[in-house]
Structure 1
Amino acid sequence: MTTLIIAEHDGAAIKPATLNTIAAAMKIGGPVHVLVAGSGCAAASQAAAAVAGVAKVLVADAAHYGAQLAENLAALVVQQVGADASCTHVLAPATAFGKNVLPRVAALLDSSQLSDVTAIESPDTFQRPFYAGNAVARVQSRDKVKVLSIRTTAFDPVAASGGSAAVESVAAAAELGLTQLVGREVVKLERPELTAASIIVSGGRGLGAADKFHGVLEPLADKLGAALGASRAAVDAGYAPNDYQVGQTGKIVAPQLYVAVGISGAIQHLAGMKDSKVIVAINKDAEAPIFQVADYGLVADLFQAVPELVSAL
């Protein structure tokens, strides 16, 4: 019973979400194999080999994996599953990367994908949230190969060092030629990445404008060493880029401290951050839903309260 994990990486290092996925795989039992596919990804494969709990790293280094296109990666994963008769589970983090690749893998394997798994009861029984996290389904899968996307906030990451897995090169699958990467726009963040940050300061529509969003929140984020986040309403209004969005249709986060400023607390947003260890809410509306999940709430004008908080820090 082997678990194959599709590694999310940048060619040089393994993304933190993969460490959480490996932690989930270890609860299934059996050897954990990590597939690193890319172009010039030797450094990433060595980083994967050093991760605690990994038994083997499979490396597919080819030019057509450089763009991490889902069609080519899915074909490679299916090839590896076919080559390893002991493979019973295929896992990836429930990030944009995993959500892009895994459904294709599941379809090719004729398996039913289980998305956003938050708990593993046994090798064939899992828990996943639905209704925006207001209910939890307990699902038993009878598929020969079980395909799971892992909600990373539900599992503490394994150590990135201390392992000594064997590294094995595998043959690349054929270039399918179905898609090509035309271009990629990457938002360069000077602050920590949202999904890996221990402190997040998020703003909502209550900030009123893009200049106020940055003018009010950035000094607080700088003081706390925090990442910046935003509600969907703030992103839709153009206050912040899409990469900042926290929520069911954005990024799922669970930092040590989450500061929600001018966020009313729509169910879509709460689904993405309510697992945070400590939640602080600042809103002038005492009836805002955000206060129902907040550990600390301040009913005040954010334009006065946040600068005062910054000066106090």
Structure 2
Amino acid sequence: MTALNKPVLVVVDHSGGVLTTPSAEVLTLARTLAGDGDVVAVALESPDLPALGRYGATEVAVPELGGQSAEVAAVVAEAVLAVVARSQPAAVLLVSSFAGKEVAARLAVALGSGAIVDATGVQVADDGSLAVTKVVLQGSWDTTCTVRRGLPVIAVKPTSVDAVAVDAAEPAVVAVPVELSEVARAVRVVSRTEHPRGGRAPLAEAKAVVVGGRGVEGDFGLVEELADEIGAAVGATRVATDEGWIDHAAQIGQTGVTIAPRLYIGVGVSGAIHHTAGMQAAETIIAVNNDPEAPIFEMADLGIVGDLGDVLPQALDELRRLRG
């Protein structure tokens, strides 16, 4: 594959001092794009240097924020801009989370360039530009986009790339001074509450997701049992969360979390567009619904018409039999 052979800058995220899996995925992608060029990781908190080195960072830039919170998008964007000025990269990559998308937009405006979010793949074209793939229009179109002016800013969907470690030395750390504007300093974080995750993978990062809809009629027992059996996260439609059957943090769709898992299993999910807009990038879609006319069957790779109370116990029994 053609490579840039120039530095690629990656804005990385940490959770509890540990590099997140989506950031490891983006670093892996950056490594393939950079070729002989450096992969510069921008760490806004104490960096997980061993992990950053394993996934390809050759240098870690740590912006000096002067006590300002790295949870404020304006602060992050201006910190990244300071690293851009120092490193002169060929592209900036981020994780396509809510925060990542906001930072990407601010960077593009400040740089006079373009931002592409929810990317599912990036390659270097023959002319040296970046060809970015993403799924649009409820999963019905695969598109290829490119930034035609300025420095490309690309936010990559979690699970779009496999994180692959390499044998590498621990990267050097460079402190980068940042002169924050009054706009960035105007916002102050006064409190922070993290939603409990339990033992399952975060919804947006999971490679497999089991989703319950109206058809579960308030009982997520079988949905959660199936999810635990295959190591999946648990999601829900807006109806299920509005009814109070499960926490709103589990909602997938236009007003919830956007996911791109390798496997999506919808149980009692009708397939309304406000939900499917949030899971359209799933690689394999399995639907279980007792209504043969449910719209979700139009996009499913495997559709099972039947009562979830009959189908899921059979599936669980077979999975356990195969596991021995």
Query: TM bucket by the smaller chain?
Result: 0.7 to 0.9
Q: How does 1:1-313 map to 2 (within 5 A)?
A: 1-29=6-34, 30-38=37-45, 41=46, 44-60=47-63, 62=65, 64-84=67-87, 86-122=88-124, 123-126=128-131, 127-159=133-165, 162-164=167-169, 165-174=171-180, 176-190=184-198, 191-209=200-218, 212-213=219-220, 215-310=221-316, 313=320
Contact 1:205 1:237 in 2 (8 A): no
Deviation at 1:277, TM superposition (A): 4.8
Unaligned runs of 5+ residues in structure 2 are 1-5
Deviation at 1:297, TM superposition (A): 2.7
1-side partners of 2:7 and 2:117: how far apart? 20
2-side partners of 1:100 and 1:295: how far apart? 33
- For 1:162, what is the secondary structure of its paired residue? coil
- For 2:275, what is the secondary structure of its paired residue? helix
Deviation at 1:260, TM superposition (A): 1.3
One-letter amino acid of the counterpart of residue 259, structure 2 = V
One-letter amino acid of the counterpart of residue 76, structure 2 = L
Deviation at 1:264, TM superposition (A): 1.4
Note closer, same or farther for the CA distance 1:102–1:198 as it changes in structure 2 (3 Å cut). Answer: closer
1-side partners of 2:23 and 2:278: how far apart? 19
1-side partners of 2:278 and 2:207: how far apart? 15
Deviation at 1:304, TM superposition (A): 3.8
Deviates more, 1:52-61 or 1:4-13: 52-61
1-side partners of 2:111 and 2:12: how far apart? 19
2-side partners of 1:286 and 1:173: how far apart? 60
Note closer, same or farther for the CA distance 1:92–1:226 as it changes in structure 2 (3 Å cut). Answer: same
Contact 1:119 1:154 in 2 (8 A): yes
2-side partners of 1:155 and 1:7: how far apart? 15
Deviation at 1:118, TM superposition (A): 2.6
One-letter amino acid of the counterpart of residue 38, structure 2 = P
Deviation at 1:92, TM superposition (A): 0.5
Deviation at 1:4, TM superposition (A): 1.1
One-letter amino acid of the counterpart of residue 308, structure 2 = L
Deviation at 1:12, TM superposition (A): 0.7
Note closer, same or farther for the CA distance 1:271–1:250 as it changes in structure 2 (3 Å cut). Answer: same
Unaligned runs of 5+ residues in structure 1 are none
TM-score (norm 1): 0.84
Note closer, same or farther for the CA distance 1:170–1:269 as it changes in structure 2 (3 Å cut). Answer: same
Deviation at 1:65, TM superposition (A): 4.8
Deviation at 1:37, TM superposition (A): 0.7
- For 1:251, what is the secondary structure of its paired residue? coil
Cα-Cα RMSD:
2.7
